[in-house]
Amino acid sequence: MHLLQFKIAFDGKTLLLGEEEWGFLPQVLLRSAIMFIVAIIALRLIGRRGIMQGIFELVTIITLGSAAGDPMFYKKVGLLPAILVFVTIVLMYRITNYFVAKSRFFEHIIEGRTVRLVEDCRFRIENFKHEELSKDEIFSDLRMHGVTHLGQVDAAYIEASGKMSLYFLPDEQVKYGLPVRPELLETEQEAIKETGMYSCGFCGYTEKISKTKKHSCTICNKTKWVRSVNEKRVK
């Protein structure tokens, strides 16, 4: 029987630097700072709804996770560059946090602004031009918050985290509004066959419309309408 002999090669320089030289360490600091900024810009371009959490925190998690993982199983990646990445990211995090706390302008650049989506029981369509928002996503969020139609909603906001915040009208103040149930939205029509309360299928503006072949919304000039409802919230 032959005894298996194992030889463990331990090279301190490889452990600390991988395949790089000491002169590479200053580059690590610069590379980390640049990639931190690039990651923030990329995630801002993706949009808050695609992230559903704070952009700043997500960037930190991504960059630290990558720095921690590579030296664990890549021989060519040394520990010192990874440690310098950690130091740089933590410093960038602290510096950015400082400026976010001191400057509202800087906070808006990093995290974005809170956007009001619903006002006066209709969508504020002027805000849709600045946000990558899908109407299907909005209707889905409204339904998950227990909304039946926009006449129940006093205000709705998309927060910097990408989540929706809602404020409801009291039952006695509920108005006619655009329904958010899919089967009702699918009844969207251009010709008004019966006088009644109708809501614009695009912006949610609601008004009484007499029988007509075509009627334009005074807010957005769209011509597709859905029969309004005014039922109270089910609590």
pLDDT of residue 128: 65
Return per-residue pLDDT of the chain as tens, 235 residues. 444 444 445 566 666 666 667 777 787 777 777 777 766 665 665 555 444 455 666 677 777 777 666 665 555 766 677 778 777 877 887 888 788 788 888 777 776 778 888 998 999 887 765 444 577 788 888 999 999 999 999 999 988 777 889 999 999 999 999 999 999 999 999 999 999 999 999 999 999 999 999 999 999 999 999 999 999 987 6
| One domain, residues 53 and 84 | yes
Chosen domain end from 111, 138, 164: 111
| One domain, residues 40 and 126 | no
| One domain, residues 44 and 145 | no
Q: Is the dihedral of CA 187, 188, 194, 198 positive or negative?
A: positive
Chosen domain end from 96, 111, 126: 111
Number of domains within the chain: 2
Query: What CATH number did the domain enclosing 197 receive?
Result: 3.30.240.20
- Asked whether residue 233 is assigned to any structural domain, the reply reads no
- Asked whether residue 26 is assigned to any structural domain, the reply reads yes
Report the predicted TM-score, pTM, of the whole model to 2 decimal places.
0.61
DSSP 8-state code for residue 117: E
Q: What's the pLDDT tens digit per position in 182-192?
A: 999 999 999 99
| Cα dihedral 160→114→134→43 (10° resolution) | -30
| One domain, residues 106 and 148 | no
Strand pairing category for 164-168 and 122-123:
unpaired
Q: How far apart are CA 154 and CA 151, in angstroms?
A: 8
pLDDT of residue 5: 46
* Domain containing residue 48: 12-111
